[in-house]
Chain A
Amino acid sequence: MSEARDYKVIGTRVVRPDGVDKVTGRANFGADFSLPGMLYGKVLRSPHAHARIKKIDTAAAAKIEGVYAIVTGADFPKVGHEEITGGEGAGDFADLATNVMARDKVVYHGHAVAAVAAQTSAIADAALAAIKIDYERLAPVMDLDTAMADNATLIDERLFTAGLPEKATKPSNVAAYMEFKRGDIAQGFAEADVVVEGTYRTPTVHQGYIEPHACVASINQGGQATIWCCTQGHFDVRSMTSKVLGMNVADIRVIPSEIGGGFGGKTTIYLEPVAMVLSKKSGRPVKITMTRDEVFRASGPASATKCKIKIGAKKDGTFTAMSAWLAYEAGGYKGSSMAPGAMCVFAPYVVPHFLIQGYDVLVNKPKVAAYRAPGAPQSMYACESLIDDLARQLKIDPIDLRLKNAVSAGSQAAYGPKYNAVGFKECLEAAKKHPNYTKKLGPNEGRGLAAGFWFNAGMQSSAEVHINENGTVTVVEGSPDIGGSRASMALMAAEELGVPYERVRVVVADTENAGYNNVTGGSRVTFATGMAVIQAAGDIITQCKQRAAATWGIEADLVDWKDGQAIPKPGVNADVKPLTLAQIAANSGRTGGPLLGRASLNARGAGPGFSINMADVRVDPETGKVDVLRFTAIQDAGKAIHPAYVEGQMQGGAAQGIGWALNEEYIYDSNGVMQNAGFLDYRMPVASDLPMIDTQIIEVPNPSHPYGVRGVGEVPIVAPLAAVANAVRAATGIRIPDLPLSPPRVLAALEAAKA
């Protein structure tokens, strides 16, 4: 359990160990790997959003010189239904398999239908152009209202809504229904002095990582394979690829490259099984990289949503009842992040009576993937917008209104358990004191505030700590480093062992060289893999005490470890000099062999994270353009291991959230074809769009972690949507419930209000 401790190493702003390679271009990312004799693979993608595949003719493509292999759905094994239990997506391996390569039906524009491997990418392009496919086009179902309508076109005729109180009797695009309730909602609303409600929509958005998906696969005639790829979890690539291809897990080695951003989007597979089957057919290694266009069309974005929220409150601001109706698009296959969206929506507040209803809905868009606190930004955008309106109506300061209802240790979360120590009130109080909360605003300017929440995950991690012969330390772990986690691991190992940070090196090892690790996701790496590193370092300390005891000829329990040295316990009568880690390592051959510490764990007690964000915006009343003038992110990190990278998470999440609020969206035509599948028109924030992003780290230690660490990676994206929307509301006097707040939408609302 955590208690006040003086730390020597953690909490300092060290240079990350992988930094030099990343600023000099030496670091190898997904597309940087090549093998001799390697072929270039390309994927043919559906030109229709919804269609049955009648016939595929690859004969002409096969005749092109330099084409080594062509694959279609027929080259992939049939995969039976089996739930993917990893995360909230509640996906199905059968769906994963057909998402990777369509069989009889395509369910979104860009769905993979065939692939080729050729000597050059130009030849591969020519081969794709020569493949002929007959489609029977079906009506595309492109939004929630259409998909949920009574006589909607069905995307999957065999899909019945799961989770309904009464068993579903006819198929539906609604894959699942979910309900959370407490108390008596009718009574709660009856007790209210004020009841407010609103309906909010958010668009399909993409994680927008700058590195497109890429992999190289190579399989030998004995069925042993290696995959090099950029992923958030190479062990998941291994298990998913083995399921989709019916291969033995032990026959697949996955070597993770450096990864150029993921944000949840690289927690699943797209190219790896395709490259594998192409490699098998051609007998050569095969590399596939997505173009940016493919990344937008055919990797997993985040759900578009429609959320209806209703809040009842007393005149003094006390919430009496809340209800939420939440519909999340899943894409062409079931499994959106509706469940966590539903669990987060009221998580920051004490609510005596509530009802939350969630719907997971199929539409003809790419199957969604996780995106940073998956599900939370959408539902919490809706709730935090409505709370802002409620504060205005009650004439209560928005911070005070939230403080009045805020959860703290012992409060029961809407999603079930009681919170241990959490830092929500601390964030609110910090916001109230922050100079940015009272800065003067000019004409057409407004300030908005919103709360964010994410559970943070624990799950399985393992790590090894090797002590080299000179006392330097090598940490071997299996969590791909997306944002500086090698530095955090080294800091924690150094702290535990009592050695300088510079003596520690961290290796992110492949599936054959590291113990199993769940994905880098869920804000779990510093928490869970970090805990494994701490425990593995503890294992080293135990061994070092034994080695010192053996050297000194005393019992091991008479030895202490302090400042990187073994010393006799106070009062022990031994005429010995302290032994440093280096001395013990140098002598390890004589005292029992190399020093190797290990730990593996299923981490429990990931501390929930809360945040408050404040945005100041200026709205051009003639063009509807919103400029963000100031942005403040306040977040409880439990304990910041590397404060600069914690701030970086907060700032990056803010930028993504601002993009989600203002301009980012998938724009489709009436045929279900995405119109803006590129950085030009997807419009992510560029450097000149943003101000400096002020950060304040709050540290309310997580009692379930030795240093008090909470996950920090996901919370930052949750609050900005409503913070920006509330600021626009403050600047214009108008609530625009649908995102993005793009200039045409804002101007139309301004004009409508004038009329």
Chain B
Amino acid sequence: MQAFAYAAPETVQQALDVLAEHQGAGRRAQVMAGGTDLMVQMRLVDGSPRTIVDIKKIAETNRLDVGAKEVYIGAAIAGAVLSASKPLKACFPGLVESIDLIGSAQIQGRASLGGNLCNASPAGDTISALVANAGVCVIASKGGLREMSVESFVVGVGKNALKPGEFLLGIKFQRPAKGTSDAYLRFIPRTEMDIAVAGAGVSVTLDASGTCTAARVAIGAVAPTVIPVPAAVDALIGSKLDAAALDKAGKACSAAASPISDKRGTAEYRRTVVGVLCRRATAIAAERAKENR
């Protein structure tokens, strides 16, 4: 019988070696960043033994780089650190909000962007914002680094595209063009501490005349995975993001949603509210984009 073990590799190679060693022997290894989801899953869902591979000591999972062209966020950086980064907030205010919304101040002290993404919950707050900002996953693999869009990284409820032996190193983005900004809104019954009942991440680009020239819309907690909504994008592009366009985009989100009813809300409710969130988030993103011109 396998016992629990803990490894805290300090380099990407060491981490890959630990993972390879365990996977090779048919045992279970699981990557941990902040551990805020993992610890709960071990307690409530599956407490079976495994080797926990803590990736927080690896430099590349802790690197935050807001460059002139590219932005890189290490997978294991705690939310509190990201929220405190002014340059990151200036580039992706909506993304930072989506991180900040996860759990309490205590959770923010540990929870990471990479963890939220790998956990691949349909309600994962950052995932909608990542998709809206065209985030690209940087994956450490035996053969070197490989990249993949966030949309294709999340493949199902709790399932990601990592192959055995791989782990997520970080996420990178193109630095947003002038006149671009984002917003993320979610709905929860309380003001804090809940899982999203529905969420919407929106990024828009406005030209000098205030016309929307590019947009990305992603919605969460209304389908098995976060989904991009091209019909909402179509409704926004070419418009001045007026009430009619926002309404159309919202309706497109409601139409694209295929939610379930559960303890957090009814399908009907989620479908309605995700449209409201899209509308409201787009309006916020538009305001920010104007300031960013």
A contacts, CB < 8 Å to B: 125, 293, 622-625, 662-663, 667, 675-676, 678-681, 683, 685-686, 688-689, 742-744, 747-748, 751
Flag whether B142 is at the interface (Cβ < 8 A).
Answer: no
Cβ contacts under 8 Å, A688 to chain B: 190-192
A748 B194 Cβ-Cβ under 8 A: no
Which listed residue, A293, A680, A689, A748, touches B268 by the CB 8 Å rule?
A748
Cα A492 to Cα B263 with chains together (Å): 48
For the complex of A and B, 8 pairs with smallest distance between CB atoms: A744-B269, A688-B191, A675-B263, A667-B263, A622-B276, A676-B263, A744-B266, A688-B192
B190 A686 Cβ-Cβ under 8 A: yes
Cα A688 to Cα B103 with chains together (Å): 13
A623 B193 Cβ-Cβ under 8 A: no
Cβ contacts under 8 Å, B195 to chain A: 680-681
Cα A277 to Cα B16 with chains together (Å): 51
B189 A743 Cβ-Cβ under 8 A: yes
**Distance to closest chain B CB from A91 (angstroms):** 30
B191 A683 Cβ-Cβ under 8 A: no
Flag whether B87 is at the interface (Cβ < 8 A).
Answer: no
**Distance to closest chain A CB from B283 (angstroms):** 13
B189 A742 Cβ-Cβ under 8 A: yes
User: Quick one: CB contact mask for B90-132 with A, threshold 8 Å, 1 for yes?
Assistant: 0000000000000000000000000000000000000000000
Flag whether B187 is at the interface (Cβ < 8 A).
Answer: yes
The main secondary structure of chain B at its interface with chain A is loop
- CB nearest neighbor in A for B277: A623
**Distance to closest chain B CB from A667 (angstroms):** 5
Cβ contacts under 8 Å, A681 to chain B: 194-195, 263-264
Flag whether B62 is at the interface (Cβ < 8 A).
Answer: no
Cα A427 to Cα B195 with chains together (Å): 40
Which listed residue, A678, A685, A743, touches B265 by the CB 8 Å rule?
A743
**Distance to closest chain A CB from B259 (angstroms):** 11
30 inter-chain pairs at a CB distance below 8 angstroms, sorted by A residue, are A125-B47, A622-B273, A622-B276, A623-B273, A623-B276, A625-B187, A663-B190, A667-B263, A675-B263, A678-B44, A680-B193, A680-B195, A681-B195, A681-B264, A683-B190, A683-B194, A686-B190, A688-B190, A688-B192, A689-B191, A742-B189, A743-B187, A743-B265, A743-B273, A744-B265, A744-B266, A747-B272, A747-B273, A748-B266, A748-B269
Flag whether B46 is at the interface (Cβ < 8 A).
Answer: no
Cβ contacts under 8 Å, A293 to chain B: 44
B187 A686 Cβ-Cβ under 8 A: no
Cα A666 to Cα B259 with chains together (Å): 22
- CB nearest neighbor in A for B43: A291
Q: Besides A662-B189, A748-B269, 12 other CB < 8 A contacts?
A: A293-B44, A623-B187, A623-B273, A663-B189, A663-B190, A667-B263, A675-B262, A681-B264, A683-B189, A683-B190, A686-B193, A743-B187
Cβ contacts under 8 Å, A679 to chain B: 193
Cβ contacts under 8 Å, A748 to chain B: 266, 268-269
B contacts, CB < 8 Å to A: 44, 47, 187, 189-195, 197, 262-266, 268-269, 272-273, 276
**Distance to closest chain A CB from B188 (angstroms):** 9
Cα A286 to Cα B214 with chains together (Å): 65
Which listed residue, B189, B193, B266, touches A625 by the CB 8 Å rule?
B189
**Distance to closest chain A CB from B111 (angstroms):** 14
Cα A123 to Cα B187 with chains together (Å): 41
**Distance to closest chain A CB from B119 (angstroms):** 15
A686 B191 Cβ-Cβ under 8 A: yes
Cα A680 to Cα B43 with chains together (Å): 14
Cβ contacts under 8 Å, A678 to chain B: 44
**Distance to closest chain A CB from B269 (angstroms):** 4
Cα A678 to Cα B266 with chains together (Å): 20
Cβ contacts under 8 Å, A623 to chain B: 187, 273, 276
Cα A676 to Cα B195 with chains together (Å): 12
**Distance to closest chain A CB from B37 (angstroms):** 12
Cα A663 to Cα B263 with chains together (Å): 11
Cα A688 to Cα B101 with chains together (Å): 13
- CB nearest neighbor in B for A659: B190
Cβ contacts under 8 Å, A625 to chain B: 187, 189
- CB nearest neighbor in B for A663: B189
Cβ contacts under 8 Å, B44 to chain A: 293, 678
Cβ contacts under 8 Å, A742 to chain B: 189
**Distance to closest chain B CB from A628 (angstroms):** 11
- CB nearest neighbor in A for B104: A686
Cβ contacts under 8 Å, B193 to chain A: 679-680, 686
- CB nearest neighbor in B for A668: B263
- CB nearest neighbor in B for A674: B263
Cβ contacts under 8 Å, B191 to chain A: 686, 688-689
- CB nearest neighbor in B for A744: B269
Cβ contacts under 8 Å, A662 to chain B: 189
Cα A630 to Cα B187 with chains together (Å): 22
A686 B47 Cβ-Cβ under 8 A: no
Which listed residue, B47, B192, B263, B269, touches A743 by the CB 8 Å rule?
B269
**Distance to closest chain B CB from A331 (angstroms):** 20
- CB nearest neighbor in A for B250: A622
**Distance to closest chain B CB from A668 (angstroms):** 9
Cβ contacts under 8 Å, A680 to chain B: 193-195
- CB nearest neighbor in B for A624: B269
Cα A747 to Cα B266 with chains together (Å): 11
Q: Known contacts A675-B262, A675-B263; decide if A685 and B190 are in contact (CB<8 Å).
A: yes
Cβ contacts under 8 Å, A125 to chain B: 47
Cβ contacts under 8 Å, A689 to chain B: 190-192
Cα A688 to Cα B193 with chains together (Å): 10
A686 B265 Cβ-Cβ under 8 A: no
- CB nearest neighbor in B for A667: B263
Cα A742 to Cα B188 with chains together (Å): 10
Cα A743 to Cα B195 with chains together (Å): 14
**Distance to closest chain A CB from B264 (angstroms):** 7
Cα A625 to Cα B44 with chains together (Å): 30
Cβ contacts under 8 Å, B189 to chain A: 625, 662-663, 683, 742-743
Cβ contacts under 8 Å, B273 to chain A: 622-623, 743, 747
- CB nearest neighbor in A for B264: A681
- CB nearest neighbor in A for B194: A683
Cβ contacts under 8 Å, B197 to chain A: 743
Cβ contacts under 8 Å, B268 to chain A: 744, 748
Cα A405 to Cα B268 with chains together (Å): 43
Cβ contacts under 8 Å, B192 to chain A: 686, 688-689
**Distance to closest chain B CB from A753 (angstroms):** 15
Cβ contacts under 8 Å, B262 to chain A: 675
Cα A623 to Cα B266 with chains together (Å): 12
Cβ contacts under 8 Å, A743 to chain B: 187, 189, 197, 265, 269, 273
Cβ contacts under 8 Å, A751 to chain B: 272
Cα A688 to Cα B188 with chains together (Å): 13
B194 A747 Cβ-Cβ under 8 A: no
- CB nearest neighbor in B for A743: B189
**Distance to closest chain B CB from A169 (angstroms):** 41
Cα A743 to Cα B265 with chains together (Å): 8
Cβ contacts under 8 Å, A667 to chain B: 263
**Distance to closest chain B CB from A37 (angstroms):** 26
**Distance to closest chain A CB from B126 (angstroms):** 18
Cβ contacts under 8 Å, B263 to chain A: 667, 675-676, 681
Cα A125 to Cα B192 with chains together (Å): 33
Cβ contacts under 8 Å, A676 to chain B: 263
Cα A680 to Cα B193 with chains together (Å): 7
**Distance to closest chain A CB from B124 (angstroms):** 15
Cα A685 to Cα B189 with chains together (Å): 10
**Distance to closest chain B CB from A541 (angstroms):** 52
Cα A625 to Cα B264 with chains together (Å): 13
Cα A172 to Cα B265 with chains together (Å): 34
- CB nearest neighbor in B for A293: B44
Cα A293 to Cα B266 with chains together (Å): 24
| Residue in B197, B266, B268, B272 whose Cβ sees the most chain A Cβ within 10 Å | B272
- CB nearest neighbor in A for B190: A689
A747 B190 Cβ-Cβ under 8 A: no
Cα A680 to Cα B190 with chains together (Å): 11
Cβ contacts under 8 Å, A686 to chain B: 190-193
Cβ contacts under 8 Å, B265 to chain A: 743-744
